Amino acid sequence: MSAVSRPVVALLVSLTIYCAVLGPFTAYMKQKPIEEKLGYLPSINVLRYASADHKELVGASLVMKVIMYFGGIAEKQQANVIVQPPDYKGMSGMLHGAVKLDPYNMDAYYFAQSFLTWEVKQYKLANDLLDYGMKYRTWDWMLPFFAGFNSAYFIKDYKKASEYYKRAGELSGSDLSKLLAGRYMQESGQTDLAITYLSAMEKGERNPAVKKNYQTRLTAFQEVRRIELARDSFLASGGTLPVSVDNLVRSGLLSPPPADPYGGQFYLEANGKVATTSKFAFAGAKKATTQNAGETR
Amino acid sequence: MLSIVTITLKGIFRDRIFQGIMVLSVLFIFIPSVASLSMRQVTELSTTLSLSLISFIMLLLAIFLGATSIWKDIERRYTFSVLSLPVSRSTYLVGRFLGIAIFMLIAALFLGSAAIVSIKIASLTYPPARPLLWSAIITSIVFDALKYIIVVAVAMTLATVSTSFFLPVFGAISTFLAGTVTQQVYDYLQTPSAQAAVSVVVRKSALVLYYLLPNLSGFDLKVHAIYAIPLNTQGLLLSAVYFLIYIGIVLSVGALLFARREMK
């Protein structure tokens, strides 16, 4: 075999083996459980020193990792594929790490706000993170806007919410924050507050998975609002609260019947408050279904 | 001196290093598409990726040009023919350094232009929340080049005493890594918790290293460029003076060591 043909043969053999391995290898990587893909985050102090003068890049890559991980799970959930719920603790840890490396990274605050509140119910943690961001992003109206919503809707601290919304209004010059500051600082306006907030978030969102998440939640809250309006009409005409959502449908006040986009069933609590078996989460609906199946057995 | 500078520059271009940079600069084309994955800061992410890419390429250039230039000349015995001419060893060293430093600035100009086009495309597609601060972006690229010129000076000084390229290459990498964290370590040591937890000897040693090693954090202006944060003119001026003085000291030490080096 000549000196030239030997490397050619070696190359051809290597390419053939490579092509043979590539298919199974790609399939293996694709089938890898999504839960593994968030990975492990080393100590942020180590990362801060190791990233040298690329802290912003490392911060951005941590945020991207979390977004990709969540996007993968959200798509599967929306396609009714059974997956483990996202590792919210891990996601939160990574985003907190990202803002330690780059305290100006807006994606980290924005994404943390979207799941720390609705999904994990860590309202104080969310507002602490937003307060931290406000120290750096002094020009940004969105951070006080988010913190104001959390204070008003979740924490029910209306005084603090007014302060945040006032700041957001001053920074943005927009009417939305001023509107929220004045109109919704009361218990009765909570659903409207959520609808206004979610509409604004959904409108400005570009990431398909996160947008779909907002759309689903918005639809759910619009349904809740319809039920609330029907309930109030029922109370005004009859003087008593309806006993169930079916009661409202049968009386003709609620048409068409409400549908929970998370797959749950709406019901009325004893005080007339609208609730759903899904608890506004796909995981909640599945859990409720399993429990019901267990009860019937 | 001028002829050594010219020969150095010609040598770098002859080694097709600039063509290599041009090939790497193709990556700038993909930056706006990658950055579009961001939810709220596409232009900011484009700027981050562009500046980091420049920084990475410049680091490679600084280490390999700075570490191999003198070592290669000694290894190939070019130094004998050059130093037989009426040229002092110091002039030779400074000429070599200036040639590489000028090449670093040319590379920064080229890469900076590619980055600006990339950032502009991203900002036209997804306008940023705050208007771009072009002066901060350009200043950040210039100061990045200055930072890596310091690394070149350190690598060349290490090459004057080394008999292999390991010391200048790994010495330059270590100096770069240490130089980017000295300020953080210094800041930490000033905190009350560090005062209580860290022994006086360690604190004093860290302080000596802080003053001895180049403080490269002062040249990192990425956060200003990415988030359009106004620059501190006085700080920039101080950093520029620091650059000149530090380069002067390092090259003087290099010239002294090179003058005493035995060449067989």
> What pLDDT is stored for residue A75 in this prediction?
74
Q: For chain A, percent helix, then strand, then coil, each to nearest 5? A: 70, 0, 25
Q: What is the mean pLDDT of residues B120-139?
A: 91
Which range among A36-40, A193-197, B20-24, B131-135 shows the weakest confidence by mean pLDDT? A36-40
> What pLDDT is stored for residue B152 in this prediction?
95
The alpha-carbon gap from B180 to the nearest alpha carbon of chain A, in Å, equals: 5
Q: What is the total count of domains within chain B?
A: 1
pLDDT band at A186 (very low <50, low <70, confident <90, very high): very low
Q: Per the structure block, which two tokens stand in for B245?
A: 């003085």
A183 occurs within a structural domain: no
pLDDT band at B158 (very low <50, low <70, confident <90, very high): very high
Nearest to A274 by CA among A253, A245, A247, A254: A245
Give the whole-angstrom CA distance, residue A84 versus residue B86.
76
First to last CA, chain B: 24
Q: Per the structure block, which two tokens stand in for A97?
A: 């790490």
Helix (H, G, I), strand (E, B) or coil at B262: coil
Query: If residue A267 lies in a helix (H) or strand (E), which one and from where to where?
Result: strand A266-268
> What pLDDT is stored for residue A35 in this prediction?
57
Residues 216-235 of B with CB under 8 A from A: 216-217, 220, 222-223, 226-227
> What pLDDT is stored for residue A207 in this prediction?
75
- Would you call B186 an interface residue with chain A, using a CB distance cutoff of 8 Å? no
> What pLDDT is stored for residue B263 in this prediction?
67
What is the ipTM, given to two decimal places?
0.80
Mutation site, A44, A48, A55, A56, interface B, largest B CB count within 10 A: A56
The alpha-carbon gap from A242 to the nearest alpha carbon of chain B, in Å, equals: 43
Omega of the bond prior to A256 within 30 degrees of 0, cis?
yes
Which range among A94-108, A135-149, A178-192, A255-269 shows the weakest confidence by mean pLDDT? A178-192
A96 occurs within a structural domain: yes
Q: Sort residue A156 into left (φ over 0), alpha (ψ -120 to 50) or beta.
A: left
Mutation site, B33, B38, B182, interface A, largest A CB count within 10 A: B38
- Would you call B37 an interface residue with chain A, using a CB distance cutoff of 8 Å? yes
Mean pLDDT computed over every residue of chain B: 88
Q: Is the pLDDT of residue B50 over 80?
A: yes
Mutation site, A51, A53, A139, A141, interface B, largest B CB count within 10 A: A53
**Which of B177, B184, B227 shows the shortest C-beta gap to A104?**
B227
Most confident range (mean pLDDT) of A168-172, A271-275, B47-51, B65-69 is: B47-51
List CB contacts (< 8 A) between B148 and chain A: none
Mean pLDDT computed over every residue of chain A: 80
Q: What is the total count of domains within chain A?
A: 1
Confidence (pTM): 0.77
Rg (chain B; Cα; Å): 20
**Which of B41, B130, B177 shows the shortest C-beta gap to A52?**
B177
**Given an 8 Å threshold on Cβ–Cβ distance, is B52 in contact with A49?**
no
Higher pLDDT residue, B129 or A187? B129
Q: Which residues contact A222 (CB under 8 A, 6 or more apart)?
A: A195
> What pLDDT is stored for residue B125 in this prediction?
87
Higher pLDDT residue, B221 or A286? B221
- The nearest alpha carbon in chain B to A103 belongs to B223
Q: Is the pLDDT of residue A287 over 50?
A: yes
Nearest to B210 by CA among B236, B184, B243, B234: B184
Q: Per the structure block, which two tokens stand in for A28?
A: 């293996």
A287 occurs within a structural domain: no
Residues 109-148 of A with CB under 8 A from B: 110-111, 137, 139-140, 142
**Given an 8 Å threshold on Cβ–Cβ distance, is B223 in contact with A107?**
no
Q: Is the pLDDT of residue A285 over 60?
A: no
> What pLDDT is stored for residue A43 in this prediction?
79
- Would you call B40 an interface residue with chain A, using a CB distance cutoff of 8 Å? yes
The alpha-carbon gap from B215 to the nearest alpha carbon of chain A, in Å, equals: 12
The alpha-carbon gap from B90 to the nearest alpha carbon of chain A, in Å, equals: 32
pLDDT band at A293 (very low <50, low <70, confident <90, very high): very low
Where in the sequence is the domain holding A76, given as residue range(s)? 35-137
Helix (H, G, I), strand (E, B) or coil at B127: coil
Helix (H, G, I), strand (E, B) or coil at A197: helix
A222 occurs within a structural domain: no
pLDDT band at A189 (very low <50, low <70, confident <90, very high): low
pLDDT band at A296 (very low <50, low <70, confident <90, very high): very low
Higher pLDDT residue, B79 or A239? A239
List CB contacts (< 8 A) between B37 and chain A: 64, 67, 207
pLDDT band at B126 (very low <50, low <70, confident <90, very high): confident
Higher pLDDT residue, B93 or A179? B93
Q: Per the structure block, which two tokens stand in for B53?
A: 């890419």
One-letter amino acid of B61 = L
Q: Sort residue A80 into left (φ over 0), alpha (ψ -120 to 50) or beta.
A: left
List CB contacts (< 8 A) between B51 and chain A: 56
The percent of residues in chain B predicted with pLDDT above 90, rounded, is 49
> What pLDDT is stored for residue A83 in this prediction?
67
The tokens 């396609």 sit on which residue? A79
Give the tens place of pLDDT for each residue, B91-108: 888 999 999 999 999 999
List CB contacts (< 8 A) between B216 and chain A: 53
- The nearest alpha carbon in chain B to A210 belongs to B39
Helix (H, G, I), strand (E, B) or coil at A256: coil
Give the whole-angstrom CA distance, residue B211 versus residue B205.
10
Higher pLDDT residue, B95 or A72? B95
**Given an 8 Å threshold on Cβ–Cβ distance, is A53 in contact with B55?**
yes
Query: Cα-flanking dihedrals φ and ψ of residue B26, to 5°?
Result: -60, -30
Which range among A15-19, B36-40, B60-64, B102-106 shows the weakest confidence by mean pLDDT? B36-40
Q: Sort residue B109 into left (φ over 0), alpha (ψ -120 to 50) or beta.
A: alpha
Which range among A19-33, B129-143, B161-175 shows the weakest confidence by mean pLDDT? A19-33
A142 occurs within a structural domain: no
- The nearest alpha carbon in chain A to B56 belongs to A54
Most confident range (mean pLDDT) of A122-131, B127-136, B139-148 is: B139-148
Q: Establish how many alpha carbons lie within 13 A of residue A142's alpha carbon, considering only the half-sphere containing its beta carbon.
A: 22
Q: Is the pLDDT of residue B81 over 80?
A: no
Give the tens place of pLDDT for each residue, A267-277: 888 888 888 88
Nearest to B216 by CA among B168, B177, B254: B177
Where in the sequence is the domain holding B56, given as residue range(s)? 2-260
- The nearest alpha carbon in chain A to B176 belongs to A52
- Would you call A64 an interface residue with chain B, using a CB distance cutoff of 8 Å? yes
- The nearest alpha carbon in chain B to A56 belongs to B48
- The nearest alpha carbon in chain A to B178 belongs to A52
In Å, how far are A37, A87, A118 from A93, measured between CA atoms? 15, 10, 17
Give the tens place of pLDDT for each residue, B191-218: 888 888 888 888 888 888 899 999 999 8
Instruction: Give DSSP secondary structure letters for B4-65.
Output: HHHHHHHHHHHTTHHHHHHHHTTHHHHHHHHHTT-SS-HHHHHHHHHHHHHHHHHHHHHHHH
Residues 212-271 of A with CB under 8 A from B: none
Q: Is the pLDDT of residue A160 over 60?
A: yes
List CB contacts (< 8 A) between B227 and chain A: 104, 137
Q: Per the structure block, which two tokens stand in for B104?
A: 């670093």
First to last CA, chain A: 75
